[in-house]
Amino acid sequence: MILADKIALVTGAGQGIGKASALMLAQEGADVAVVDINGQTSEQTASEVVALGRQGLSLQADVGDVEEIDRMVKQTIDTFGRIDVLVNNAGVTRRSYIMDLTEEDWDRIHRVNAKGVFFCLQRVAREMIPRRQGAIVNIASIAGKGYEGTSNAAYAASKGAVISLTKTAAQQLAQHNINVNAVCPGVTNTALSQANLEVRAQQEGTTVEEIQRRRAEAIPLKRANDPEDIAAMVAFLASAGARNITGQSFNVDGGIIPS
C-alpha cells in the first residue's frame, strides 16, 4: 500500500471524483477525513472507508466559508493528530452560455472553486509546515486549459485559477518540503456532469445518450473518465513515488488536450 498510515483530508468527497479519491486513498492505506456540504453523503463515504479497514471521519462543511474550513481542519487534527494529504476536490458549476452568466453565478462558482481551494490549501499547509512534509492535490479541469466543451466561462476561469495557484503554491511551499500538484480531469461520468448533460440535451432537442455518444467519439481514446481514473492519479501524487513532482497540472482526459 503506497499510503500506509497516512492521514488524508478530501473535500467534496460525498460523491463523484471526491468519493472515488477518498476510497482509493483508503485502499492504499490512508485514514480519511471525508468532507462534504451534504452530511448524509459524507457519512456514507466515511462508512465505506471504514469498511475498507481504515478510519473514516465524516465532516459536513461549506468550503466557501473560511470559518468552516478552520473548523474542519481542527476536527481532523483533533481526531488524527495531523494531515499528510489534502485533496482539494469540492467544486460547483452549471451549464450556461457566456452571455447568460450573472454576477451571482460568478460569485457562487468562484467562492467554492477558487476561494475554497485557496483557503483549504493555506489552512492545511499551515499544519504541514512545522512537520516539513505533505502532499496537496488540487482538482482542476481541462476547462482551465481551454477545453471548448466546458460548461461555462466562469467555471473555466475558476479552474484556470486553480492551475495558477498550484504553480505558485508549489514554488512557495517547496522550501517546507510540501508538494503541490493538480489533476485536470476531462469528460468524467459524475452526477454533476450528468446534470449538465441533461440541460444540454434539452437545449439541443436531443437525448442524453446521443450527447454521450458524440462526446465519447470526440475523445481520442473513445471513452469518458470514470471517477476512479482521476482517483488513481490523485493517489499517485499523494504517494512517495511523486516526491520529486511539484507544481504540475496533469491531464486525465483520454487525450483531448495534448499538453
Start-end of CATH 3.40.50.720 domains in the chain: 7-186+226-251
Task: Flag whether pLDDT at 169 surpasses 90.
Answer: yes
Q: How many Å apart are CA 152 and CA 115, to the nearest integer?
A: 18
Tens of pLDDT, residues 111-136: 999 999 999 999 999 999 999 999 99
Pull the grid cell for residue 142.
Answer: 481541462
* pLDDT at residue 201, as a whole number: 80
Q: How far apart are CA 116 and CA 86, in angstroms?
A: 13
In this predicted structure, the answer to whether residue 140 has a pLDDT above a threshold of 80 is yes
**Active-site residue, selected from the candidate residues 155, 231, 234, 238:** 155
Give yes or no: 97 in active site. Answer: no
β-strand partners of 180: 136
> Sign of the CA dihedral 249, 163, 190, 46?
positive
Which percentage of the chain shows pLDDT scores above 90? 84
Q: Does residue 76 come out as left (phi exceeding 0), alpha (psi in the -120 to 50 range) or beta?
A: alpha
Q: What is the pLDDT of residue 155?
A: 96
What pLDDT band is residue 144 in, cutting at 50, 70 and 90?
Answer: very high
State which fold the 7-186+226-251 domain adopts: Rossmann fold (3.40.50)
pLDDT digits (tens, 9 = 90+) for 196-243: 778 778 878 888 888 888 888 989 999 999 999 999 999 999 999 999
pLDDT at 9: 99
